[in-house]
A and B are shown apart, each in its own frame.
Chain A
Amino acid sequence: GAGVSQSPSNKVTEKGKDVELRCDPISGHTALYWYRQRLGQGLEFLIYFQGNSAPDKSGLPSDRFSAERTGESVSTLTIQRTQQEDSAVYLCASSLMGPTYSYNEQFFGPGTRLTVL
Chain B
Amino acid sequence: TQLLEQSPQFLSIQEGENLTVYCNSSSVFSSLQWYRQEPGEGPVLLVTVVTGGEVKKLKRLTFQFGDARKDSSLHITAAQTGDTGLYLCAGNSGTYKYIFGTGTRLKVLA
Which of chain A's residues have a CB closer than 8 A to the CB of B92? 101-102, 104
- Chain A 91-117 near chain B by CB (<8 Å), digits 1 or 0: 101000100011111111111000000
Give complex CA distance A95, B25 in Å: 25
> Nearest CB to that of A111 among chain B residues?
B42
State in angstroms the CA–CA spacing of A46 and B100 once bound together: 12
Contact A43 to B96, CB < 8 A, known contacts A101-B30, A106-B45: no
Please report the number of residue pairs spanning A and B whose Cβ atoms sit closer than 8 angstroms. 68
For chain B residues 56-110, which have a beta carbon within 8 Å of chain A?
Answer: 88, 90, 92, 94-103, 105
The CB with the most chain A CB atoms within 10 A, among B44, B90, B95, B100, is that of: B100
Cross-chain contact of A110 among B31, B40, B94, B98 (Cβ < 8 A): B40
Chain B min CB distance to A111 (Å)? 6
Is A41 at the interface (CB under 8 A from chain B)?
yes
Smallest Cβ distance from A44 to chain B, in angstroms? 8
The answer for the CA separation of A56 and B104 in the assembled complex, in Å, is 28
Residues of chain B at the chain A interface (Cβ within 8 Å): 4, 6, 30-31, 33, 40-45, 48, 50, 88, 90, 92, 94-103, 105
Which residues does A use to contact B, with CB under 8 Å? 4, 31, 33, 35, 40-45, 48, 50, 55-56, 91, 93, 97, 101-111
